[in-house]
Amino acid sequence: MARKCVLWTLTVRIFLHIVLFPLLVSGIGDIWWSLGLSPRLNVFRNPNLYLIGTQPMCTQLKGLSPGQVRLCQLFTDHMPAVGRGAQLGILECQHQFANRRWNCSTIEGDSSVFGPVLNVASREAAFTHAISSAGVIHSVSRSCKEGELSKCGCSKAGRPKDMARDWIWGGCGDNIEYGYRFAKYFVDTRERDKNHRRGSRELGRMLMNLHNNEAGLRAVYNYAMVACKCHGVSGSCSLRTCWQQLPAFRDVGDRLKERYDGAVEVRFNKRGTKLIRRNKKFNKPTSEDLVYFENSPDYCNANPETGSRGTVGRECSKTSSGMDGCNLLCCGRGYNTFKRKVVERCKCKFKWCCYVECQTCERIEDVYICK
């Protein structure tokens, strides 16, 4: 009997250290955003792992702070939604900054996902915190509606006062209320896990991150919509059933990008306890605005210390006068011109019934690459 117990113990240890732990450690960095880069987060969906408890899984996710580990242990089934939210934020960041000198590219193997560039308390750091927290509230709220989480379901939001009297308020809406509470608790816990000295840079960065986390949450929460489905004979829409719906995440990204462009520079107050606007000529930042307190690098040249990857080799637009134009994106260094063959579908025709028939066309286009 004792020998069987020893063999069972050894089997469990081998499984933990050889099978489970490497899955969880691989690709996980020091910031929870890295969950968005790890498809192995689906390990939480394996019911057999509950036989050995959830604590080892959560403690081995190195991207989580101690407080987030405790949340992971309490809300294990929420973690795939958190990972999807982080991925949503990363992809939207890359879309919004695709034509900028800093293009929000992830760095493989780096513990902070975006590299040392986020060590600077800049506009870019402000945006990444906001879009990441927005991704979590968006993903968790939708997961509640889809019945994927044990502690929430459809939204219980009250009927809007301005909705037509004969419309029915009863569809299964996105649970934005729960998504907001959980996302705020999860993303802010990392910042609140440590105490910092009054007036210190660490305290300033913590306050900045908390403010921008909230801005990201509100970019989703404050813009929830009412969606309706029509009922009636021949689509007459004489009756409608309505529910609460999340805003499209592309709209969230566009909104936060506008906040990035108008971000407010802040500094400590005289007591060194909170952040206030640096220039009183500008309006006080609201809870929806982004704030920063350090200037951004120019991102023109590669610099390992600041995390700038430079713009050498980036494709630019010869005709654009915006940030994607060769003059600005290449930082005045000039550009090289190349020819590129593009193969695409063309001359498509609808055939009865029912498919589309296309030809394959080739064309040569000019490509401009920053020196």
Q: What is the mean pLDDT of residues 147-152?
A: 93
- Residue 45 confidence (pLDDT) above 60: no
DSSP structure class, residue 316: E
Q: What pLDDT is attached to residue 162? A: 84
Residue 176, C-beta contacts closer than 8 angstroms, at least 6 positions apart:
137, 141, 155, 157, 220, 221, 224, 244, 246
Residue of 213 and 165 predicted with greater confidence: 213
Q: What pLDDT is attached to residue 220? A: 97
The span from the CA of 61 to the CA of 67, in Å, is 12
pLDDT in tens, 177-217: 999 999 999 999 999 888 899 999 999 999 999 999 999 99
Task: Put residue 272 in one of left, alpha, beta given phi > 0 → left and psi -120 to 50 → alpha.
Answer: left
Q: Which residue type occupies 318? A: K
Average pLDDT taken over every residue of the chain: 84
The span from the CA of 139 to the CA of 274, in Å, is 31
At 52, list the tokens: 């050995």
CA neighbor of 297 nearest in space, from 71, 88, 120, 46: 120
- Residue 4 confidence (pLDDT) above 50: no
Beta bridge mates, 229: 241
* Burial status of residue 293 (CB atoms within 10 A of its CB: 0-12, 13-18, 19 or more): buried
Q: How confident is the model at residue 55 (pLDDT cuts 50, 70, 90)?
A: low
What are the extents of the domains in the chain?
2-151+172-218+246-306, 311-371
Q: What is the mean pLDDT of residues 160-169?
A: 85
Q: What pLDDT is attached to residue 27? A: 30
- Residue 262 confidence (pLDDT) above 90: yes
Q: 354: cis peptide before it, omega within 30°?
A: yes
Q: How confident is the model at residue 56 (pLDDT cuts 50, 70, 90)?
A: low
Q: What is the mean pLDDT of residues 135-152?
A: 95
3-class state of residue 102 by DSSP: coil
Q: How confident is the model at residue 234 (pLDDT cuts 50, 70, 90)?
A: low
**Interaxial angle between packed helices 201-221 and 123-145, expressed in degrees from 0 to 180 and rounded to the nearest 10:** 40
The DSSP string of 107-170 is -TT-TTSS-GGGGS-SHHHHHHHHHHHHHHHHHHHHHHHTT--TT--S--PPPPTTS-TTSEE-
| 311-371: in CATH 3.30.2460.20 | yes
pLDDT in tens, 323-343: 999 999 999 999 999 999 999
